[in-house]
Amino acid sequence: MHIPDAFIPLPQAAVYWIIALIFIALSLRWARNEMRDEKVPLVAVLAAGIFAIQAVNVPIPWGTSGHMAGAALAAIVLGSPFAAVFVLTLVLIVQGVIFGDGGITVMGANIINMGVVAGFVGYYSFQGLNAAIKNPYPAAFIAGWLSLFVAALVTAVEMAVAGTFPLELGLISMGLYHAVIGVIEGGITAVALYLIYTARPDLLPQPRGVSG
């Protein structure tokens, strides 16, 4: 879902950068206030793991492939959508600057889609679903799926505003491919969460309002 430079006119790309910078500033505030010393290695390992897993493009039908974004996982494990913005911003900067994956002028848009949109959708849908069904793993699967699907639709809208894709065909094709790629996102999010919670049950989200 990494947008290359040519897909968005520069003035629009600048607007996305400004919006992204606001969220990056908020994610840095999260890091200063909420990221304790002992949490730093967990954040770093999640970022490294998400970078690596993003290199694994899984084939889907229609001569297409897709990979996990990881924002839902980061937000759920670290307990904040701003954690996902923090982690995905680092990953996207390294991908864009060192590996030419995703454009430079359009990096703000990529941070919005894969960090902000996927992070917020993943985090809040997980919170709601986990409260409703009281089982974090199916909740994580659906939250992962939804995070990628909604991010893809937002990308399609940006492409329509850019004049690159017609709106309807963009939404249909992006929606079709990412409905399938979302299964990969949801599956890995649920499995990774299971592995992390099995190794460290204390990281499980505690119900709100209960002091322990």
Partner 1 sequence: MDTKNLLYFGVIIALVIAVAAPFIASSNPDGLESAFFGIFGAKEIQGSELDEDAAGAAEEQVQEITGNTFSFASPFPDYGIEGLEKAGEALAIVIGTLLVLAVALGLGRVLSRSE
**Subset of 97-156 contacting partner 1 (CB under 8 A):** 97-101, 103-106, 152, 155-156
Task: List the one residue from 36, 207, 208, 209 that touches partner 1 (CB under 8 A).
Answer: 36
By CB atoms closer than 10 A (0-12, 13-18, 19+), residue 10 is exposed
83: left (phi over 0), alpha (psi -120 to 50) or beta: alpha
Q: Closer to partner 1 at the Cβ: 88 or 129? A: 88
The yes or no reply on residue 46 touching partner 1 (CB under 8 A) is yes
| CB < 8 Å & 24+ apart, contacts of 150-154 | 150/117, 150/118, 150/121, 151/1, 151/69, 151/71, 151/113, 151/114, 151/117, 151/118, 151/121, 151/178, 152/1, 152/177, 152/178, 152/181, 153/178, 154/112, 154/113, 154/117
Segment near partner 1 (CB under 8 A); pick from 18-26, 114-122, 132-140, 194-202: 194-202
Segment near partner 1 (CB under 8 A); pick from 114-122, 130-138, 157-165, 204-212: 157-165
Identify the CA nearest to 73 among candidates 101, 107, 49. Answer: 49
The yes or no reply on residue 18 touching partner 1 (CB under 8 A) is no
Task: List the one residue from 61, 207, 209, 212 that touches partner 1 (CB under 8 A).
Answer: 61
Minimum distance, C-beta of residue 133 to partner 1, in the bound complex (Å): 27
The yes or no reply on residue 1 touching partner 1 (CB under 8 A) is yes
The yes or no reply on residue 49 touching partner 1 (CB under 8 A) is yes
Q: How many CB atoms lie within 10 A of CB 62?
A: 10
Q: Closer to partner 1 at the Cβ: 105 or 127? A: 105
Task: Please count the residues of this chain forming the interface with partner 1, following the rule CB under 8 A.
Answer: 78
Minimum distance, C-beta of residue 130 to partner 1, in the bound complex (Å): 22
DSSP conformation class of 163? T
Are 198 and 192 a contacting pair, CB within 8 Å?
A: no
The yes or no reply on residue 170 touching partner 1 (CB under 8 A) is yes
Segment near partner 1 (CB under 8 A); pick from 16-24, 40-48, 123-131, 204-212: 40-48
Tokens of 38: 């002992």
Contacts of partner 1 in 80-99 (CB under 8 A): 87, 90-91, 94-99
Q: Closer to partner 1 at the Cβ: 35 or 139? A: 35
The yes or no reply on residue 191 touching partner 1 (CB under 8 A) is no
Measured between alpha carbons, how far is residue 148 from residues 38, 116, 119, 201 in Å?
29, 11, 9, 27
